[in-house]
Structure 1
Amino acid sequence: MHSSLFRIGFILLLLFAPDALAAKKSKPKTFGELLQVSTQVKPRKAHRLIRKFIKRQGHPLVEKTQAVFLFEHKAGTERPRLLHDNNAFGALYGKDDPAIGQMTRISQTTWYYATVPLLEDARLVYEFAVGEKRLTDPHNPATVQVFGNTLSSFTMPQFKERFSKEEQARTQPGRIETQKIKRNGKEEEIFVYVPRAFDEDRDRAFPVMYINDGSLFLDEGNLKQTLDAMMYHSQCDPFFVVLSNPTNRREEYRGSSKYRNWYVYDLFSFIDRTYNTLDGPEHRVILGGSRGALMALDAMLNYPNRVANVAALTPALSPTKFMRNFKRKSKPGIKVFVGLANLDAYWLKDGRELAKVLRTKRLAHKTAEFQDGHHVHAWVDMVPSAAAYFFPFTPR
């Protein structure tokens, strides 16, 4: 009897020894340990270990200079994908490539993972894809709006907001005014940020920054809080900000002469009549992101007597003929701020080419690099650097 019980116990020990040994590592400290343990236990136990690991460590996981993303997918045979700026959201060559961003299955579980190398001050905007379906991260509540889409957002430990919540709260806010201006025979709204300094000294004239895709900057990017903070904390001299929107972005931001003429004559003149502005092209800046940067550069190239300054943030210049024209026609007297997002897999090359031409031609410029992607939240973070370049703070 005792011999039989001994044999049964020995058999059970052999059966459950792997789980017993793995239990010693039931609280893996690193993702590598989690992977190792997950291969040594049954799928159900591995599933529990992964869930506990996420709850304990947070998600995405940060290990030195990489982030680890986990995603559970139970149904079907199609592997989930991790899409983000650094892989052009799966469309590196202009159309969706299902091979881009594929995640790796963890042993025999329903969990998949992907790693992304990131510097310690980077921000990554991302989503998961299963077939045609796009999903935010169920384990990360941080989301942002990007061109009307809700995406997950993740920052590495050394990433710093340009202004803390305390700094944003401790300001003397300016105000947003709505104006109406005619274009194409119709009235359309534009928005004007009036700095607090204007109300304190109405005899003082101010320079003007014109921002393309204005509603995007205001609504998705919370631009006003950044403007209030950077002027209050003396990062630049105060200035008016004019925020306009295209009717047809694809056409008007790709070299439309009709839109360009309205912009540099009708819009500029309307603002100069309505507000106490400093006159002259050297006191005007057009700031734009992506195709908005292309429109800004195109306006300056064709009308340097109307605007001499451009902030080109993650400029999307190809496949147009702009760079060929810029190399040939650009002349001294202009100033360009180039904001580069190093995680922008699709458009980074355009920004680098622009910066190279500016250096080669010895045109006044400044290039600033950010560990970020191609979206309005990155552009808003670049605004203070651009403003300090064009309108440096001068004590009064």
Structure 2
Amino acid sequence: MTSIDDLPATPSDPAHADPRNEPGIRPRGVLGKLPRYAAGKPPVVVEGLESFKLSSNENPLPPLPAVLEAIAAETSINRYPDPLTTALRTELAAYLGVPPTDIVTGAGSLGALNQILATFAGQNDFDAPDEVVYAWRSFEAYPISVGLAGAAGVQVPVRADGRHDLEAMARAITDRTRVVLLCTPNNPTGPILTRDEVVGFLANVPAHVVVVIDEAYQEFVRDADAVDGIALYRDHPNVIVLRTFSKAHGLAGLRVGYSVAQQGLTEHLRVSAVPFAVSQVAEHAAVTSLRHIDEVEARVQSIVDERTRVVDGLRDLGWTIPEAQGNFVWLSLGEHTQDFAAKAGERALSVRAFGTEGVRVSIGEEAANSRFLELCGEYSHRPAAW
């Protein structure tokens, strides 16, 4: 039997109009105003050279053997994960010394950030959009996440040495400001914020403004004066700390992050949290990694040691670079940015070039770092002192 859906369309039938004559489906207008996230590219293949990816701030080491075993042993992926990630929050609470109720998990620290923005900043009915203040240049996803939340980003330029200008950021806060983002160590430039700086900044922030301390690279920090968000949030009801398992734990592909805040904020964050954002495989891996934290810390120290070698090598070559407290270094190369990235590609190294601002280079394998230093030794256009 022939159904009505099988009948040929006629020009007079609007339900079957030729789609080529109809206006296209339009996305929200904000999409045309947002930058596109550019992930670090893989290295090109150069005959005779081992290729190394130094463009994504990934941990060059695989997860711990115990973690790989835990991943392989997880067979319940036909079931939905625990939406509250109870096992992980319990393990994190013991590790951090905080109540489990203060922790909200997300798909990486970026997923946790998106939950924060969805909760506290956006486009309100019949009002101008809320504002989110953040340093720039900083994490590339900030303007995208802020814009998609419906908020307006207020970018405050970093200082010449790559550090946040907290005084200028405090001045940028208005009646419309709902969230401030502090990235420490700052990605891609590298410097940390000190505890005294952040405490002084918070004293100038209205109590109703949420301050997010993004500590994705916290485990790599060796500056004794660096802010510790976990130590700080207990005294500040408007502070939220972001952390991740992507970097130090080497679990970037599993997407496990979390935020820590007092319950006056987490009760709202749980409403906007994406259900089942952390899979049971990811949760099991993260819990196992925490239970072997000594091994994780030893691996992190090996990366910090390589970072020290790279930083010392650059300075011995006469290069001026900002303080490096993450697992990367920043080369403020200006107009020579793309040229340097191309030269790195010729040596089977992928690095992250940011327009005409500079190049971020992740700390990778020892051989990769040595090859990077060799390139810098031969490259003539070095960053000028600030």
Alignment TM-score, normalising by the size of structure 2: 0.25
Higher relative CO (Cα under 8 Å, sequence separation at least 6) belongs to 2
Whose strand fraction is larger, Structure 1's or Structure 2's? 1
Higher Cα radius of gyration:
1
